[in-house]
Structure formats: C-alpha cells, structure tokens
Amino acid sequence: VQELTDDYEEVEYSSSVQEKADVDAILQKPWTFNKSAAEEARKEMFSYFNPYKIITMTSDDATVGQLQRFYHSKAIPMVDVPPGISRLLPKKQLFRNTRYETCALVGNGGILLNSSCGESIDEKDFVIRCNFAEMEGFSADVGTKTDVLTFNPSILNRKFSKLKSSAMRTKFLKRIQSYGKYVLWVPVFTPHFLPIDVRTVLTFYEKNSNYLKDVQLAFPGNVLPEILDFWMSKGVDEERISTGLLMYIIASTICDKIHLYGFYPFPEYNNKPIPYHYEDPVNKSMTTSEFNSNFRRFHRLPDEFVYLKKMHSAGVLQLNIGTCE
Ligand code: CTP
C-alpha cells in the first residue's frame, strides 16, 4: 500500500467561490421543504450507486483477502479486507425498511460555536455526526443525541495515543459508550490511515464487545467510483469526498427532511473569524484558501458548499447557518 506524503499544494478558490460563502440571501427567506425536488434529487443520486452499500457491508460481503475499492485518493483505489472483519459486520443491511421524517446531519464546522442549535438538532428523529464529534461542553450548540457516528481510525493516533496504555483504552471505551446506542461507521478501506489503526480498532472492539452491545459497527462497501462519478456530475471534483457528504448520502437514503448543521467551510461569518472545527480555538483572520488548505488538503469543501447551498434553495435540504434561536 502506497503511503501519502505530506506534500500538498494550497488549493486556490476563485473570488466567485468566496462570494458564494455569502449566505444572507438564503437566510432571508424562510426555508420550505420541497418533497418532489427532494425525491428527484434522491432518485438521481441513486441512479449512480446502491445507497445501502455505503451504509454498510454485511457479513456476506466481507471475504478476507478480497480486494475492495473504497473512497480515498483516486490514485490508490484498492486495499485488502482486514481479517476478522466479517465477525463484526451486521448480518443484515441496516435501516433497510426504516424511514425517518426528519434527520439532523451535524458537520463539525466552527459555525456551530455559540449557535444554540443543540435543541433543534436533538428534536430531529435521527441524528448523524462525524468523526467522533466532541460533545462534552458543547451540548447547547451541538445537542446530545446520536444515531450514526463516523470514526476515522486515524483518530486513535491523534487523540488516544494508539491505545497503547490502559488509561487510554479506558478513556476510549468510555468515549465510545458515551454516545449511547448507535451505529459506529468506520471507513476501514482507507489505506493512508494505516491498516494497523483499523486492526487496533477491530481488536479493541472484539475484546470489549461485552461492554459495547449498544454500538453496532458498520463498514461502508465498495461503491467509491460510482460515488465519485455522482459528485463529479455535481461539480464536486475532490481527491476524497468529505465525510460530511458521505453522510449526506446516508441521510438521503433513510430520511425525508434533511437538516444540516456545522457545514460552513469559510473563515468568517458576520465579519467575525470562526474556527474550522467548533472545538478549535478561533483563528486569526484567513482567506478561504488558507482556511481550507491548512486544515484539509484532500477536500474542496467550498465546492461542496456551493452544491449544498443550491439544494437548500431548491428545498431539498436545509442548511442551518448562524444561530438557531
Ligand atoms: N465541515 C464543513 N465545514 C467545516 C468543517 C467541516 O462543511 N468548517 C463538514 C465537512 O463535510 C466534513 C464534516 O463537516 O467532512 C465533518 O467535519 P470534520 O470532522 O471536520 O471533517 P474533516 O476532518 O474536515 O474531514 P473528513 O471529511 O476527511 O473527515
């Protein structure tokens, strides 16, 4: 498996993309749901791929040693299925016959800070969060409810010292349990996170399965090329589709009305600087290019935002920006 280097080019955004961060126009009008536009958007998306495959593989799909293609850099598309994976996978497709009227999809953008959106998020029927979102100390802004949570194994490195000490293992277990009963969505076929991190997560889960009965693991399946094709057709051409957009696909699969929070990849709002993540310190003033390059080199979140803004105006989804009071 080829490793990625740390070299990257700063992504430049044209001034027109930066202007598109101007959300006043969309906030002025009250948002109304457009059922037929939402159905149309969903139908088009699902003409590219089977959406259930992104929710999870099932134990029938996981043959050890079989090459899987999953989302990552276009240059590194194939990886092995880690051993032991099929034991942890659900036997049946998740959410096959379930539909929720309202869903909150919570990104981790700094726009959520001081938003008071927690109540609005928690009152939705189903809540999706990304990347082991930090909630302690932020509940007024981000809420407390979680039904699906993504977990990128590289978080073990950054926040849990690779689970090397028993103190870290206890901390990690407590944190996984703290979200309640939910689906933990782990992108296992992403080689740059190192198979070793994936294996550490799987081993940890197996060893502690008695304490993790409320946590259902899910590993997305083999639909990368089709997903990239779909987003490309929407003007989003990225090295790697963001976790938030992947979760938007899941939300589109099981929800009627999708409400987005924390999706705002711009360095300021209402002339005030905001951090990239709501848990980060506030940044000094930055351009959109600096803001996105410094933090996320694989994505073009401002391009994703252009699409989301368009969908908001069409009544397909609701983008919540600013405060929820
Ligand atoms: N997001 C956003 N604006 C930000 C930060 C995040 O729109 N300022 C959205 C993106 O869709 C992102 C998701 O919220 O994927 C989850 O946020 P985060 O955990 O910050 O994701 P990243 O680490 O940036 O990236 P990745 O998508 O690779 O997980």
Please state the ipTM of this predicted complex. Answer: 0.98
Which phi-psi region, left, alpha or beta, contains residue 122 (left: φ > 0; alpha: ψ -120 to 50)? alpha
pLDDT-derived band at 7 (thresholds 50, 70, 90) equals very low
pLDDT-derived band at 271 (thresholds 50, 70, 90) equals confident
Least Cα distance to 263 among 130, 122, 120, 71 occurs for: 130
- Residue nearest atom 5 of ligand 1, based on CA coordinates: 109
Least Cα distance to 222 among 60, 70, 55, 48 occurs for: 70
Mean pLDDT of 289-294: 72
Q: Say which residue, 69 or 54, is predicted with more confidence.
A: 54
- Residue nearest atom 7 of ligand 1, based on CA coordinates: 263
Query: For this structure, is 299 an active site residue?
Result: yes
5-9, 91-95, 228-232, range with the lowest pLDDT = 5-9
Annotated catalytic residue, options 72, 259, 277, 299 = 299
Atom number of ligand 1 nearest to Cα 244: 11
Identify which of 70, 72, 131, 274 to mutate to test ligand 1's pocket (most ligand atoms within 8 A of the CB): 131
Q: Say which residue, 211 or 190, is predicted with more confidence.
A: 211
Mean residue pLDDT across the chain: 85
Identify which of 135, 150, 154, 242 to mutate to test ligand 1's pocket (most ligand atoms within 8 A of the CB): 242
CA–CA separation, 170 and 63 (whole Å): 31
Atom number of ligand 1 nearest to Cα 264: 3
Q: Say which residue, 189 or 96, is predicted with more confidence.
A: 96
Residues 6+ positions from 109 with CB-CB distance below 8 Å: 262, 263, 264, 265, 274, 276, 277, 278
Count the Cβ atoms, other than its own, within 10 Å of residue 131: 16
- Residue nearest atom 24 of ligand 1, based on CA coordinates: 296
Whether the per-residue pLDDT at 322 is higher than 60: the answer is: yes
Mean pLDDT of 118-134: 97
Is residue 10 within 8 Å of residue 188, measured between CB atoms? no
Locate 67 and state its tokens: 């090459």
Q: Give the Cα-Cα-Cα angle 162, 189, 151 (nearest 5 degrees).
A: 50
Question: What pLDDT was estimated at residue 290?
Answer: 76
CA–CA separation, 176 and 169 (whole Å): 11
Whether the per-residue pLDDT at 135 is higher than 80: the answer is: yes
pLDDT-derived band at 253 (thresholds 50, 70, 90) equals very high
Atom number of ligand 1 nearest to Cα 107: 14
Whether the per-residue pLDDT at 263 is higher than 50: the answer is: yes
Residues lining ligand 1, judged by CB closer than 6 Å? 107-110, 130-131, 152, 242-245, 262-265, 276-277, 296, 301
Whether the per-residue pLDDT at 258 is higher than 90: the answer is: yes
Distance 108 CA to ligand 1 centre (A): 6
Whether the per-residue pLDDT at 182 is higher than 90: the answer is: yes
Question: What pLDDT was estimated at residue 1?
Answer: 29
Residue 101, amino acid: E
**Residue matched to tokens 């989003």:** 236
